[in-house]
A and B are shown apart, each in its own frame.
Chain A
Amino acid sequence: MSKNTKTVIILLVAAVLIAAVPLFALRNTEFGGSDDAGSVMVEEIRGEYTPWFTPVLETALGGELPGEVESLIFCVQTGIGVGVIAFFMGRFVERKKWMKATGQEGDVPASGGERACTGSGDTDDPHR
């Protein structure tokens, strides 16, 4: 395992731990959203407060978005993001392998096995 791999694993484990520990440490907590806490604070400062605008989707649905559907949409959002990152990462990884195999490591030629490379002017580095 390279040094980077180790660093990455340690960092990921740390991240998961930070996220997971409160869940186990505070067993009987509700874990509501903190902007609910925000609205409570608004009411504390201002007295009763009725939002003057309801979210468009809630207006269209005539009620709140069902929790399960909400989680679905959140997952869709995550999915889109992960998909894009994984797709490009996959391409980068493959390209690096390909570059190694053809002995061109270090600098990518214009035809670096990548569609986007066929565009113009990608050989100059302004920061050199």
Chain B
Amino acid sequence: MTKKEKILLKASIALAAVFAVAPASNAMHIMEGYLPAGYCVAWGVICLPFLIAGFVSLKNKVRENRRNMTLIAMAGAFIFVISSLKIPSVTGSCSHMTGTGLGAILLGPAAVSILGIIVLLFQAVLLAHGGLTTLGANTFSMAVAGPFVSFGLYHLCRKLKVNRRVSVFLAAFLGDLFTYCVTSIQLALAYPSEAGGVGASALKFLGVFAPTQLPLAVIEGILTVVIVIGLETYAGPELKSIGFLRKKEAK
């Protein structure tokens, strides 16, 4: 099986999955109109520095080496694909993954915030999925918090001499989970429960999101490892130029 065939296979699986679960309605982001206006603005402002840092980081990467563009495009495309796949989960509801782990590992967490917000905008405007008012909050959870965890974990694992693929898996897996933990906390902050305040409310939201998300986070980890294997095999020079591989490590 050649790489192309593999990609074809993956594409068809992706399409099949979309068709399989298409009737499912909205999934995981905070829904349009579900956060009080104050929170919308606050989260948006919190995201701003990350977005600016991300923009600068992307610009520098491209200026440093035009070839980096390809990996940036691929990381963005990966988020596009992964976050469009709604997958049925053990709890009987569907959710989708974030796909931001790959970008965070390859490009650093700030750069991903830009890629993430593009996807979130696409879904908010065209799909009524997530929303424009909740864009700030969703950007923070999916394109800032998750990637930072992925990035940190990956580099921690590499420091500890964990196998590269295992590191990639762990980073993507926990980054995905963390995204939804942040979502829960964001909802809890806006809707503290009367009995136990923010904490109890956060646990309630986590109870909804976490069991659904767990298997999906595993899938996200797996897919990220698969694409990293593909890139390691075929895109050594790009990975070197972006600083993912050192020269000697490339095949």
What residues of B have a CB within 8 angstroms of the CB of A44 in the complex?
Answer: 204
Interface check B90, CB cutoff 8 A: yes
Chain B 51-110 interface residues, beta-carbon cutoff 8 Å to A:
64-67, 69-70, 73-74, 76-95
Interface check A101, CB cutoff 8 A: no
Minimum Cβ distance to chain B for residue A11 (Å): 5
What residues of B have a CB within 8 angstroms of the CB of A73 in the complex?
Answer: 126-127
Minimum Cβ distance to chain B for residue A61 (Å): 9
What residues of A have a CB within 8 angstroms of the CB of B65 in the complex?
Answer: 119, 121-122
Whether A36 lies near B234 (C-beta < 8 A) is no
What residues of B have a CB within 8 angstroms of the CB of A48 in the complex?
Answer: none
- Whether A51 touches B229, Cβ cut-off 8 Å, given contacts A45-B194, A81-B79, is no
- Whether A75 touches B18, Cβ cut-off 8 Å, given contacts A89-B3, A119-B67, is yes
A19, A75, A125 pick with most chain B CB within 10 angstroms: A19
**15 A-B residue pairs with CB within 8 Å:** A12-B222, A31-B94, A32-B94, A34-B89, A35-B27, A35-B30, A42-B187, A53-B131, A75-B84, A84-B73, A85-B81, A89-B74, A108-B236, A114-B67, A116-B66
Write the residues of chain A forming the contact surface with B, with a CB cutoff of 8 angstroms: 1, 4-5, 7-9, 11-12, 14-16, 18-19, 22-23, 25-26, 29-39, 41-42, 44-46, 49, 51-58, 64-65, 67-68, 70-71, 73-75, 77-78, 80-86, 88-93, 95-96, 106-108, 112, 114, 116-117, 119-122, 125-128
A33-B26, A116-B66, A117-B66 known; 20 new pairs, CB 8 Å cut-off, are: A5-B6, A12-B13, A12-B222, A19-B87, A26-B88, A26-B92, A33-B86, A33-B94, A34-B212, A35-B29, A38-B209, A55-B128, A57-B127, A71-B22, A77-B81, A78-B14, A82-B11, A88-B70, A119-B66, A125-B241
